[in-house]
Structure 1
Protein backbone atom coordinates (compact mmCIF):
# COMPACT_ATOMS: atom_id res chain seq x y z
CA UNK A 1 0.00 0.00 0.00
CA UNK A 2 1.19 3.60 -0.49
CA UNK A 3 2.88 5.24 2.45
CA UNK A 4 1.14 7.88 4.54
CA UNK A 5 3.61 10.43 3.21
CA UNK A 6 2.74 9.49 -0.37
CA UNK A 7 -0.96 9.93 0.29
CA UNK A 8 -0.44 13.31 1.93
CA UNK A 9 1.80 14.45 -0.92
CA UNK A 10 -1.07 13.47 -3.20
CA UNK A 11 -3.34 15.85 -1.24
CA UNK A 12 -5.56 13.00 -0.04
CA UNK A 13 -7.76 13.33 3.02
CA UNK A 14 -6.52 10.83 5.61
CA UNK A 15 -8.55 9.99 8.72
CA UNK A 16 -6.99 8.32 11.73
CA UNK A 17 -8.71 6.58 14.60
CA UNK A 18 -7.32 7.51 18.01
CA UNK A 19 -6.36 4.75 20.41
CA UNK A 20 -5.75 5.33 24.09
CA UNK A 21 -6.39 1.82 25.45
CA UNK A 22 -3.03 0.04 25.69
CA UNK A 23 -4.20 -3.32 24.42
CA UNK A 24 -3.25 -4.86 21.07
CA UNK A 25 -6.58 -6.69 20.80
CA UNK A 26 -8.49 -3.42 21.13
CA UNK A 27 -6.20 -1.83 18.56
CA UNK A 28 -6.90 -4.76 16.24
CA UNK A 29 -10.63 -4.03 16.45
CA UNK A 30 -10.00 -0.32 15.82
CA UNK A 31 -7.83 -1.12 12.80
CA UNK A 32 -10.59 -3.32 11.36
CA UNK A 33 -12.80 -0.26 10.99
CA UNK A 34 -12.77 1.97 7.90
CA UNK A 35 -10.04 4.31 9.11
CA UNK A 36 -6.99 5.10 6.99
CA UNK A 37 -4.68 5.09 10.00
CA UNK A 38 -4.61 4.38 13.72
CA UNK A 39 -2.81 6.67 16.16
CA UNK A 40 -1.51 5.22 19.41
CA UNK A 41 -1.62 7.94 22.06
CA UNK A 42 1.15 7.92 24.64
CA UNK A 43 0.57 11.47 25.86
CA UNK A 44 -2.96 11.41 27.26
CA UNK A 45 -3.83 7.83 26.35
CA UNK A 46 -2.56 4.78 28.18
CA UNK A 47 -0.19 3.54 25.51
CA UNK A 48 3.39 2.82 26.53
CA UNK A 49 6.42 1.35 24.82
CA UNK A 50 5.29 -2.26 25.20
CA UNK A 51 1.76 -1.62 23.94
CA UNK A 52 3.08 0.38 20.98
CA UNK A 53 5.52 -2.30 19.87
CA UNK A 54 2.81 -4.98 20.20
CA UNK A 55 -0.02 -2.96 18.61
CA UNK A 56 1.65 -1.87 15.40
CA UNK A 57 1.48 -5.37 13.79
CA UNK A 58 -2.32 -5.34 14.11
CA UNK A 59 -2.42 -1.96 12.38
CA UNK A 60 -0.10 -3.12 9.62
CA UNK A 61 -2.02 -6.38 9.17
CA UNK A 62 -5.19 -4.36 8.52
CA UNK A 63 -3.26 -2.25 5.97
CA UNK A 64 -3.66 0.93 7.99
CA UNK A 65 -0.97 3.52 8.66
CA UNK A 66 0.54 3.34 12.14
CA UNK A 67 1.02 6.67 13.90
CA UNK A 68 2.27 7.31 17.44
CA UNK A 69 1.80 10.41 19.57
CA UNK A 70 4.68 10.48 22.01
CA UNK A 71 4.68 12.15 25.44
CA UNK A 72 5.88 15.74 25.76
CA UNK A 73 9.60 16.02 25.06
CA UNK A 74 10.13 12.29 24.55
CA UNK A 75 12.37 12.56 21.52
CA UNK A 76 13.86 9.15 22.34
CA UNK A 77 10.39 7.62 22.02
CA UNK A 78 9.93 9.35 18.67
CA UNK A 79 12.89 7.37 17.35
CA UNK A 80 11.68 4.17 18.98
CA UNK A 81 8.19 4.54 17.50
CA UNK A 82 9.72 4.62 14.04
CA UNK A 83 11.97 1.67 14.89
CA UNK A 84 8.83 -0.22 15.91
CA UNK A 85 7.30 0.37 12.47
CA UNK A 86 5.30 3.59 12.81
CA UNK A 87 5.08 5.71 9.67
CA UNK A 88 4.52 8.95 11.53
CA UNK A 89 5.12 10.52 14.92
CA UNK A 90 3.12 13.34 16.49
CA UNK A 91 5.02 15.40 19.06
CA UNK A 92 2.94 17.51 21.47
CA UNK A 93 3.82 20.97 22.72
CA UNK A 94 6.39 21.90 20.10
CA UNK A 95 6.52 25.51 21.18
CA UNK A 96 9.77 26.74 19.68
CA UNK A 97 12.25 26.25 16.88
CA UNK A 98 14.54 24.54 19.39
CA UNK A 99 11.79 22.02 20.18
CA UNK A 100 11.25 21.43 16.46
CA UNK A 101 14.96 20.92 15.88
CA UNK A 102 15.20 18.35 18.69
CA UNK A 103 12.16 16.50 17.37
CA UNK A 104 13.43 16.50 13.78
CA UNK A 105 16.85 15.28 14.91
CA UNK A 106 15.24 12.25 16.55
CA UNK A 107 13.10 11.29 13.56
CA UNK A 108 15.56 11.69 10.71
CA UNK A 109 18.79 9.92 9.78
CA UNK A 110 21.98 11.89 8.98
CA UNK A 111 22.69 14.23 7.41
CA UNK A 112 19.21 15.64 8.08
CA UNK A 113 18.98 14.45 11.69
CA UNK A 114 20.63 12.29 14.32
CA UNK A 115 18.39 9.22 14.38
CA UNK A 116 20.37 6.15 15.30
CA UNK A 117 20.17 3.05 13.10
CA UNK A 118 18.20 0.11 14.42
CA UNK A 119 14.77 -0.45 12.76
CA UNK A 120 14.76 -4.09 13.87
CA UNK A 121 10.99 -4.31 14.19
CA UNK A 122 10.20 -1.84 11.42
CA UNK A 123 11.87 -3.65 8.53
CA UNK A 124 9.75 -6.84 8.53
CA UNK A 125 6.60 -4.93 9.46
CA UNK A 126 7.09 -2.52 6.58
CA UNK A 127 8.27 -5.38 4.34
CA UNK A 128 11.48 -3.58 3.58
CA UNK A 129 15.19 -4.32 3.71
CA UNK A 130 17.89 -2.20 5.29
CA UNK A 131 19.09 -1.29 1.81
CA UNK A 132 15.66 0.00 0.78
CA UNK A 133 14.64 1.56 4.11
CA UNK A 134 17.64 3.81 4.72
CA UNK A 135 17.42 5.93 1.55
CA UNK A 136 13.63 6.28 1.88
CA UNK A 137 13.13 6.72 5.62
CA UNK A 138 13.61 10.48 5.87
CA UNK A 139 11.21 11.16 3.01
CA UNK A 140 8.60 8.52 3.84
CA UNK A 141 8.20 9.05 7.59
CA UNK A 142 6.17 12.02 8.75
CA UNK A 143 7.10 14.21 11.71
CA UNK A 144 4.07 16.16 12.99
CA UNK A 145 4.84 19.08 15.31
CA UNK A 146 1.80 19.95 17.42
CA UNK A 147 0.72 23.58 17.45
CA UNK A 148 -1.23 24.14 20.67
CA UNK A 149 -0.02 27.37 22.28
CA UNK A 150 0.49 31.04 21.53
CA UNK A 151 4.24 30.46 21.70
CA UNK A 152 3.96 27.79 19.02
CA UNK A 153 1.85 30.09 16.87
CA UNK A 154 4.41 32.87 17.21
CA UNK A 155 7.18 30.45 16.24
CA UNK A 156 5.20 28.76 13.47
CA UNK A 157 7.22 30.03 10.51
CA UNK A 158 10.46 28.91 12.15
CA UNK A 159 8.98 25.52 13.05
CA UNK A 160 7.79 25.03 9.47
CA UNK A 161 11.21 26.04 8.15
CA UNK A 162 12.98 23.46 10.32
CA UNK A 163 14.50 20.72 8.13
CA UNK A 164 12.95 17.38 9.00
CA UNK A 165 9.62 18.78 10.19
CA UNK A 166 7.11 17.48 7.66
CA UNK A 167 3.82 18.64 9.12
CA UNK A 168 1.99 20.44 11.88
CA UNK A 169 -0.93 19.11 13.89
CA UNK A 170 -3.33 21.44 15.68
CA UNK A 171 -4.57 20.39 19.11
CA UNK A 172 -7.77 22.48 19.28
CA UNK A 173 -8.50 21.85 22.96
CA UNK A 174 -5.17 23.18 24.21
CA UNK A 175 -5.26 25.83 21.51
CA UNK A 176 -8.59 27.10 22.85
CA UNK A 177 -7.22 27.22 26.40
CA UNK A 178 -4.23 29.23 25.19
CA UNK A 179 -6.35 31.45 22.96
CA UNK A 180 -8.62 32.43 25.86
CA UNK A 181 -5.78 32.73 28.37
CA UNK A 182 -7.10 29.76 30.30
CA UNK A 183 -10.68 30.98 30.50
CA UNK A 184 -12.33 28.41 28.28
CA UNK A 185 -12.01 24.88 26.89
CA UNK A 186 -13.79 24.84 23.54
CA UNK A 187 -12.16 23.01 20.61
CA UNK A 188 -14.80 24.46 18.28
CA UNK A 189 -14.33 28.05 19.47
CA UNK A 190 -15.30 30.30 16.58
CA UNK A 191 -13.05 33.12 17.73
CA UNK A 192 -9.92 31.07 17.07
CA UNK A 193 -10.93 29.59 13.71
CA UNK A 194 -9.17 32.27 11.67
CA UNK A 195 -5.92 31.46 13.50
CA UNK A 196 -6.48 27.72 13.03
CA UNK A 197 -7.02 28.24 9.32
CA UNK A 198 -3.90 30.39 9.16
CA UNK A 199 -1.84 27.50 10.57
CA UNK A 200 -2.98 25.26 7.72
CA UNK A 201 -2.46 27.95 5.09
CA UNK A 202 1.05 28.71 6.27
CA UNK A 203 1.91 25.02 6.43
CA UNK A 204 0.78 24.45 2.86
CA UNK A 205 2.63 27.57 1.69
CA UNK A 206 5.78 26.10 3.24
CA UNK A 207 5.23 22.80 1.45
CA UNK A 208 4.28 21.00 4.66
CA UNK A 209 1.19 19.00 5.66
CA UNK A 210 -1.44 20.06 8.18
CA UNK A 211 -3.49 17.92 10.55
CA UNK A 212 -6.02 18.53 13.29
CA UNK A 213 -8.01 16.63 15.91
CA UNK A 214 -11.73 16.70 15.11
CA UNK A 215 -14.11 17.02 18.04
CA UNK A 216 -17.17 17.89 15.96
CA UNK A 217 -17.44 15.70 12.81
CA UNK A 218 -19.62 18.21 10.97
CA UNK A 219 -16.70 20.67 10.97
CA UNK A 220 -14.41 18.42 8.94
CA UNK A 221 -15.46 19.87 5.60
CA UNK A 222 -14.63 23.34 6.83
CA UNK A 223 -11.19 22.19 7.93
CA UNK A 224 -10.60 20.55 4.54
CA UNK A 225 -11.33 23.91 2.91
CA UNK A 226 -8.78 25.51 5.25
CA UNK A 227 -6.13 23.13 3.91
CA UNK A 228 -6.00 20.38 6.53
CA UNK A 229 -5.64 16.85 5.16
CA UNK A 230 -4.85 14.65 8.17
CA UNK A 231 -7.68 14.25 10.68
CA UNK A 232 -8.01 12.43 14.01
CA UNK A 233 -11.59 11.35 14.60
CA UNK A 234 -12.95 9.21 17.43
CA UNK A 235 -11.28 7.36 20.29
CA UNK A 236 -12.41 4.07 21.80
CA UNK A 237 -14.53 5.67 24.52
CA UNK A 238 -16.30 7.87 21.99
CA UNK A 239 -16.89 4.99 19.58
CA UNK A 240 -18.23 2.73 22.34
CA UNK A 241 -20.51 5.50 23.59
CA UNK A 242 -21.92 6.26 20.15
CA UNK A 243 -22.30 2.57 19.30
CA UNK A 244 -24.02 1.74 22.59
CA UNK A 245 -26.36 4.73 22.25
CA UNK A 246 -27.35 3.70 18.73
CA UNK A 247 -27.94 0.05 19.67
CA UNK A 248 -29.88 0.83 22.82
CA UNK A 249 -32.00 3.43 21.05
CA UNK A 250 -32.84 1.02 18.25
CA UNK A 251 -33.66 -1.80 20.66
CA UNK A 252 -35.78 0.31 23.01
CA UNK A 253 -37.65 1.96 20.14
CA UNK A 254 -38.85 -1.49 19.05
CA UNK A 255 -40.62 -2.15 22.34
Structure 2
Protein backbone atom coordinates (compact mmCIF):
# COMPACT_ATOMS: atom_id res chain seq x y z
CA UNK A 1 0.00 0.00 0.00
CA UNK A 2 1.32 3.46 -0.88
CA UNK A 3 2.10 6.16 1.66
CA UNK A 4 -0.81 8.29 0.51
CA UNK A 5 -3.21 5.34 0.70
CA UNK A 6 -2.16 4.61 4.28
CA UNK A 7 -2.55 8.23 5.32
CA UNK A 8 -5.91 8.44 3.58
CA UNK A 9 -6.95 5.33 5.53
CA UNK A 10 -6.22 7.15 8.78
CA UNK A 11 -3.04 5.34 9.85
CA UNK A 12 -0.50 6.99 12.12
CA UNK A 13 2.91 6.49 10.54
CA UNK A 14 6.48 6.93 11.77
CA UNK A 15 9.38 8.04 9.64
CA UNK A 16 13.01 7.82 10.70
CA UNK A 17 15.22 10.75 9.78
CA UNK A 18 18.42 10.01 7.88
CA UNK A 19 21.23 12.53 7.62
CA UNK A 20 24.15 10.19 6.93
CA UNK A 21 24.70 10.04 3.15
CA UNK A 22 25.53 6.36 2.96
CA UNK A 23 23.30 3.66 1.46
CA UNK A 24 24.57 1.02 3.90
CA UNK A 25 23.55 3.18 6.86
CA UNK A 26 20.18 3.85 5.25
CA UNK A 27 19.77 0.09 4.80
CA UNK A 28 20.31 -0.50 8.52
CA UNK A 29 17.81 2.19 9.50
CA UNK A 30 15.28 0.97 6.94
CA UNK A 31 15.33 -2.49 8.52
CA UNK A 32 14.16 -1.11 11.86
CA UNK A 33 10.51 -0.75 12.81
CA UNK A 34 9.74 2.56 11.08
CA UNK A 35 7.14 2.81 8.33
CA UNK A 36 9.21 5.25 6.29
CA UNK A 37 12.67 6.82 6.01
CA UNK A 38 13.24 10.50 5.24
CA UNK A 39 16.52 11.40 3.54
CA UNK A 40 17.42 14.91 4.69
CA UNK A 41 19.16 17.21 2.22
CA UNK A 42 18.56 20.39 4.22
CA UNK A 43 20.39 19.91 7.52
CA UNK A 44 21.50 16.33 6.91
CA UNK A 45 24.37 15.30 4.67
CA UNK A 46 22.32 13.76 1.88
CA UNK A 47 22.94 14.93 -1.67
CA UNK A 48 21.66 13.92 -5.09
CA UNK A 49 23.81 10.81 -5.39
CA UNK A 50 23.06 9.55 -1.88
CA UNK A 51 19.33 10.11 -2.41
CA UNK A 52 19.49 8.24 -5.72
CA UNK A 53 21.24 5.29 -4.07
CA UNK A 54 19.59 5.53 -0.64
CA UNK A 55 16.07 5.02 -1.94
CA UNK A 56 16.96 1.48 -3.06
CA UNK A 57 17.40 -0.11 0.40
CA UNK A 58 14.31 1.73 1.66
CA UNK A 59 12.18 0.17 -1.05
CA UNK A 60 13.87 -3.20 -0.59
CA UNK A 61 12.86 -3.11 3.09
CA UNK A 62 9.26 -2.43 2.09
CA UNK A 63 9.30 1.08 3.54
CA UNK A 64 8.24 4.45 2.13
CA UNK A 65 11.02 6.78 0.89
CA UNK A 66 10.68 10.50 1.62
CA UNK A 67 13.13 13.30 0.85
CA UNK A 68 13.52 16.71 2.46
CA UNK A 69 15.03 19.06 -0.08
CA UNK A 70 17.20 22.11 0.69
CA UNK A 71 15.50 25.50 1.07
CA UNK A 72 14.21 26.74 -2.28
CA UNK A 73 15.55 23.76 -4.26
CA UNK A 74 12.25 22.93 -5.90
CA UNK A 75 14.15 21.51 -8.87
CA UNK A 76 15.39 18.79 -6.51
CA UNK A 77 11.79 17.92 -5.65
CA UNK A 78 11.27 16.69 -9.21
CA UNK A 79 14.56 14.80 -9.15
CA UNK A 80 13.68 13.12 -5.85
CA UNK A 81 10.43 11.90 -7.39
CA UNK A 82 12.28 10.71 -10.49
CA UNK A 83 14.59 8.73 -8.18
CA UNK A 84 11.58 7.02 -6.58
CA UNK A 85 10.57 9.13 -3.57
CA UNK A 86 6.91 8.90 -2.60
CA UNK A 87 6.88 12.25 -0.82
CA UNK A 88 8.95 15.41 -0.71
CA UNK A 89 9.17 17.82 2.22
CA UNK A 90 10.03 21.42 1.33
CA UNK A 91 11.40 23.58 4.17
CA UNK A 92 10.61 27.25 4.74
CA UNK A 93 7.52 27.48 2.56
CA UNK A 94 6.63 30.97 3.75
CA UNK A 95 4.22 32.21 1.09
CA UNK A 96 1.63 31.14 -1.43
CA UNK A 97 4.20 31.77 -4.15
CA UNK A 98 6.63 29.36 -2.45
CA UNK A 99 3.83 26.79 -2.29
CA UNK A 100 2.94 27.32 -5.95
CA UNK A 101 6.54 26.84 -7.08
CA UNK A 102 6.89 23.72 -4.95
CA UNK A 103 3.64 22.22 -6.26
CA UNK A 104 4.62 23.02 -9.84
CA UNK A 105 7.80 20.97 -9.43
CA UNK A 106 5.90 18.08 -7.82
CA UNK A 107 3.01 17.52 -10.21
CA UNK A 108 2.68 16.69 -13.90
CA UNK A 109 0.56 18.91 -16.17
CA UNK A 110 -2.09 20.15 -16.10
CA UNK A 111 -1.78 20.43 -12.31
CA UNK A 112 1.90 21.32 -12.29
CA UNK A 113 4.98 21.70 -14.49
CA UNK A 114 6.95 18.55 -13.68
CA UNK A 115 8.91 17.24 -16.62
CA UNK A 116 8.58 13.61 -17.73
CA UNK A 117 11.51 11.30 -17.05
CA UNK A 118 11.01 8.67 -14.28
CA UNK A 119 14.20 6.86 -15.33
CA UNK A 120 14.67 5.25 -11.91
CA UNK A 121 11.25 5.71 -10.31
CA UNK A 122 9.24 3.70 -12.82
CA UNK A 123 11.33 0.51 -12.70
CA UNK A 124 11.72 0.82 -8.92
CA UNK A 125 8.00 1.26 -8.23
CA UNK A 126 6.34 0.75 -11.57
CA UNK A 127 3.50 -1.56 -12.32
CA UNK A 128 1.63 -1.49 -15.59
CA UNK A 129 2.44 0.96 -18.35
CA UNK A 130 4.12 4.34 -18.31
CA UNK A 131 0.75 5.86 -19.25
CA UNK A 132 -0.72 4.34 -16.08
CA UNK A 133 2.22 5.69 -14.11
CA UNK A 134 1.64 9.18 -15.52
CA UNK A 135 -2.08 9.11 -14.70
CA UNK A 136 -1.46 7.94 -11.13
CA UNK A 137 1.62 9.99 -10.22
CA UNK A 138 -0.08 13.22 -9.17
CA UNK A 139 -2.25 11.33 -6.70
CA UNK A 140 0.47 8.94 -5.51
CA UNK A 141 3.16 11.52 -4.72
CA UNK A 142 2.87 13.83 -1.73
CA UNK A 143 4.03 17.45 -1.45
CA UNK A 144 4.53 18.51 2.19
CA UNK A 145 5.06 22.24 2.76
CA UNK A 146 6.94 22.98 5.97
CA UNK A 147 5.34 25.50 8.32
CA UNK A 148 8.11 26.98 10.46
CA UNK A 149 7.71 30.76 10.59
CA UNK A 150 5.20 33.46 11.40
CA UNK A 151 5.06 34.30 7.70
CA UNK A 152 4.07 30.71 6.92
CA UNK A 153 1.45 30.82 9.66
CA UNK A 154 0.00 34.02 8.22
CA UNK A 155 -0.10 32.45 4.73
CA UNK A 156 -1.34 29.05 5.90
CA UNK A 157 -4.82 29.14 4.37
CA UNK A 158 -3.42 30.18 1.01
CA UNK A 159 -0.73 27.49 1.19
CA UNK A 160 -3.37 24.87 1.97
CA UNK A 161 -5.52 26.07 -0.93
CA UNK A 162 -2.66 25.81 -3.41
CA UNK A 163 -3.40 23.05 -5.96
CA UNK A 164 -0.79 20.31 -5.67
CA UNK A 165 0.05 20.85 -2.00
CA UNK A 166 -0.97 17.63 -0.25
CA UNK A 167 -0.10 18.48 3.34
CA UNK A 168 1.89 20.51 5.80
CA UNK A 169 4.87 19.51 7.90
CA UNK A 170 5.30 21.38 11.18
CA UNK A 171 8.91 22.06 12.14
CA UNK A 172 8.51 22.71 15.88
CA UNK A 173 12.07 23.81 16.60
CA UNK A 174 12.14 26.56 13.98
CA UNK A 175 8.55 27.41 14.86
CA UNK A 176 9.56 27.93 18.48
CA UNK A 177 12.36 30.27 17.41
CA UNK A 178 9.87 32.29 15.38
CA UNK A 179 7.28 32.12 18.16
CA UNK A 180 9.70 33.58 20.73
CA UNK A 181 11.30 36.08 18.35
CA UNK A 182 14.61 34.26 18.55
CA UNK A 183 14.71 33.92 22.31
CA UNK A 184 14.73 30.12 22.53
CA UNK A 185 14.50 26.82 20.71
CA UNK A 186 12.03 24.45 22.39
CA UNK A 187 10.03 21.99 20.30
CA UNK A 188 7.58 21.39 23.18
CA UNK A 189 7.05 25.04 24.17
CA UNK A 190 3.66 25.08 25.85
CA UNK A 191 2.69 28.57 24.73
CA UNK A 192 2.68 27.52 21.05
CA UNK A 193 0.80 24.23 21.46
CA UNK A 194 -2.64 25.73 20.86
CA UNK A 195 -1.40 27.20 17.58
CA UNK A 196 0.27 23.93 16.59
CA UNK A 197 -3.05 22.19 17.19
CA UNK A 198 -4.89 24.78 15.13
CA UNK A 199 -2.47 24.28 12.22
CA UNK A 200 -3.27 20.57 12.13
CA UNK A 201 -6.97 21.31 12.39
CA UNK A 202 -6.88 23.78 9.52
CA UNK A 203 -4.93 21.32 7.39
CA UNK A 204 -7.35 18.48 8.06
CA UNK A 205 -10.35 20.75 7.43
CA UNK A 206 -8.82 21.62 4.05
CA UNK A 207 -8.52 17.91 3.27
CA UNK A 208 -4.75 17.91 3.61
CA UNK A 209 -2.40 15.73 5.66
CA UNK A 210 -0.57 16.97 8.75
CA UNK A 211 2.96 15.86 9.68
CA UNK A 212 5.32 16.95 12.44
CA UNK A 213 8.82 16.29 13.75
CA UNK A 214 8.67 14.78 17.24
CA UNK A 215 11.78 15.67 19.20
CA UNK A 216 10.42 14.30 22.50
CA UNK A 217 8.67 10.88 22.34
CA UNK A 218 6.48 11.79 25.33
CA UNK A 219 4.61 14.36 23.23
CA UNK A 220 3.68 11.91 20.47
CA UNK A 221 0.26 11.04 21.85
CA UNK A 222 -0.59 14.68 22.22
CA UNK A 223 0.25 15.64 18.65
CA UNK A 224 -1.60 12.61 17.28
CA UNK A 225 -4.68 13.74 19.19
CA UNK A 226 -4.26 17.12 17.50
CA UNK A 227 -4.55 15.48 14.08
CA UNK A 228 -0.94 14.87 13.05
CA UNK A 229 -0.62 11.49 11.30
CA UNK A 230 2.95 11.37 10.04
CA UNK A 231 5.50 11.63 12.85
CA UNK A 232 9.18 12.12 12.06
CA UNK A 233 11.83 11.09 14.58
CA UNK A 234 15.00 9.14 15.15
CA UNK A 235 18.06 10.42 13.30
CA UNK A 236 21.03 8.07 13.11
CA UNK A 237 22.71 10.11 15.84
CA UNK A 238 19.74 9.63 18.15
CA UNK A 239 19.29 5.95 17.33
CA UNK A 240 22.96 5.16 17.94
CA UNK A 241 23.03 7.24 21.12
CA UNK A 242 19.93 5.57 22.58
CA UNK A 243 21.07 2.10 21.52
CA UNK A 244 24.53 2.56 23.04
CA UNK A 245 23.08 4.05 26.22
CA UNK A 246 20.65 1.16 26.71
CA UNK A 247 23.27 -1.46 25.88
CA UNK A 248 25.86 -0.03 28.27
CA UNK A 249 23.27 0.41 31.00
CA UNK A 250 22.27 -3.25 30.74
CA UNK A 251 25.89 -4.43 30.78
CA UNK A 252 26.77 -2.28 33.79
CA UNK A 253 23.67 -3.42 35.69
CA UNK A 254 24.62 -7.03 34.99
CA UNK A 255 28.17 -6.53 36.26
CA UNK A 256 26.96 -4.67 39.34
CA UNK A 257 24.54 -7.46 40.24
- What's the TM-score bracket when you normalise by the shorter of the two chains? over 0.9
Is 1:113 the counterpart of 2:92 in the alignment? Answer: no
- The corresponding residue for 2:66 is 67
Q: TM-score, normalised by structure 1?
A: 0.99
CA–CA distance in 1 between the matches of 2:254 and 2:30? 32
Equivalences, count: 254
Is the counterpart of residue 87 in structure 1 residue 86 in structure 2?
yes
Structure 2 Cα separation of the partners of residues 136 and 14 of structure 1: 22
CA distance in 2, matches of 1:138, 1:250: 49
Q: CA deviation at 1:220?
A: 0.7
Distance 1:133 1:90 in 2: 21
1:153 aligns to what? 153
Runs of at least 5 residues in structure 2 that lack an aligned partner in the other structure = none
Instruction: Could you list the structure 1 runs, at least 4 aligned residues long, displaced by more than 4 angstroms after superposition.
Output: none
Pairwise CA distance, 1:224: 0.7
State TM-score, norm by structure 2. Answer: 0.98
The equivalent residue for 2:242 is 242
Q: Which runs of 5+ in 1 are unaligned?
A: none
Deviations 1:13-53, CA, capped at 9 Å, x for gaps: 01000000000000000000010000000000000000000
**Which deviations, in whole Å up to 9, do the C-alpha atoms of 1:50-106 show, x marking residues without a partner?**
000001010000000000000000010000000000000000000000000000000
Quote the Cα distance in structure 2 between the aligned partners of 1:12 and 1:132. Answer: 26
Deviation at 1:131, TM superposition (A): 2.0
1:106-255 counterparts in 2 under 5 A?
106-128=105-127, 129-255=129-255
User: 1:253, CA displacement in angstroms?
Assistant: 1.1
Separation of aligned partners in 2, 1:213 and 1:115: 28
Shift of 1:127: 2.9
Instruction: Determine if contact 2:55/2:83 at 8 Å carries over to the other structure.
Output: yes
Residue aligned with 2:25, SS: helix
- 8 Å CA contact 2:126–2:133 kept in 1: the answer is no
State the alpha-carbon separation in 1 of the partners of residues 24 and 42 from structure 2.
20
User: How far, CA to CA, are the matches of 2:157 and 2:116 in structure 1?
Assistant: 30
Aligned partners of 2:86 and 2:142 also within 8 Å: yes
